[in-house]
Amino acid sequence: MPDFSTLFVTQEGEPLQVGDQTITVISRALRVLPHWGFGGVVWNRPVAVKIQTASGVEHILPVVDETRRRQLIILAFGLAGAILISLFFRPPAITAGHVKK
Amino acid sequence: MTEEQPVEEKAAQDKGEFTNVSVDTLQATMEKFLDTANVKAVFAKPIQQGDTTIITCSEVMAVLGFGVGECCGGDATNGGHGSGGGGRTFARPVAAIIASPAGVTIQPIMDPTKLWIAALTTLGFMFAMMGRMRRGRRH
């Protein structure tokens, strides 16, 4: 069995010619494989597209996961909201002679 | 990923060759599982439409676990052996790469259901927290 000790693996696809430009897709996989070898987790996602023009200029376009980005924004709003709620709706402090049942 | 035991495997098991067959099955399953880490699992085959080429890309996640065991010698007369496993693969479209002679653009593919679920869960959590803290103030 091949050695999969590396956690993150970045791979490039085969270059594709479109017009006068060459496109190469790039992916990154997270591989968690226990060393005893009975299974594991693989999370593979697109990272970027490398574009090379006929003049030799190379630039990289990132592939943004818009759904994940917005989910994280919603989560951040939720956390901020939770902090605000805990500040504004905090129960009053127990003063001397005021025993809480 | 529950599969019925193949006929060959059952016959081999009867002959006491279970271990070899199950190791082969596990190895084949493991190889298929590791294929999900390949770049080809994420990017689809390019679709050509005139001068334009479209490549869809997805996020792929695979989980797999299995185990084998035997007891008391491992032969058919005084022992036993068994194996089992399970796994799941998830895939979600992320974007479409559109390449034409004019240039390359990446169009994101959004999943509104996931966003609504996230928003409603967050709101529900916030309202529940507010209600609990209000109750705490009254007591």
Interchain CB distance below 8 Å, A46 and B40 = no
Q: How many domains does chain B have?
A: 2
B132 in the same domain as B99: no
Q: Which tens digits make up the pLDDT trace of B46-94?
A: 999 888 999 999 999 999 888 777 777 655 567 777 777 888 889 999 9
- Using only C-alpha atoms, chain B has a radius of gyration, in whole angstroms, of 25
Distance in angstroms (rounded) separating the CA atoms of residues B34 and A1: 11
Q: Domain-by-domain residue ranges, chain A?
A: 8-88
Nearest Cα residue to A83 out of B13, B126, B8, B16: B126
B116 in the same domain as B97: no
Domain residue limits at B128: 111-139
Confidence check: pLDDT of A74 > 90:
yes
B26 in the same domain as B92: yes
Distance in angstroms (rounded) separating the CA atoms of residues B16 and A55: 65
Q: Which tens digits make up the pLDDT trace of A5-18?
A: 568 889 999 999 88
B66 in the same domain as B115: no
Q: Contact B105/A56 with Cβ under 8 angstroms?
A: no
Q: Which tens digits make up the pLDDT trace of B91-127?
A: 999 999 999 888 899 999 999 999 999 999 999 999 8
For residue B120 the two structure tokens come to 């409603």
Size of interface A-B (CB pairs under 8 A): 166
B73 in the same domain as B21: yes
Interchain CB distance below 8 Å, B37 and A42 = yes
Is the ipTM beyond the 0.90 threshold? no
Q: Contact A42/A29 with Cβ under 8 angstroms?
A: yes
Whether B121 maps to a domain, the answer reads yes
Q: How far apart are the first and last CA of chain B?
A: 52
Closest to A66 (Cβ–Cβ): which among B62, B87, B108?
A: B108
B96 in the same domain as B28: yes
The answer to whether the predicted template modeling score (pTM) of the entire model surpasses 0.80 is no
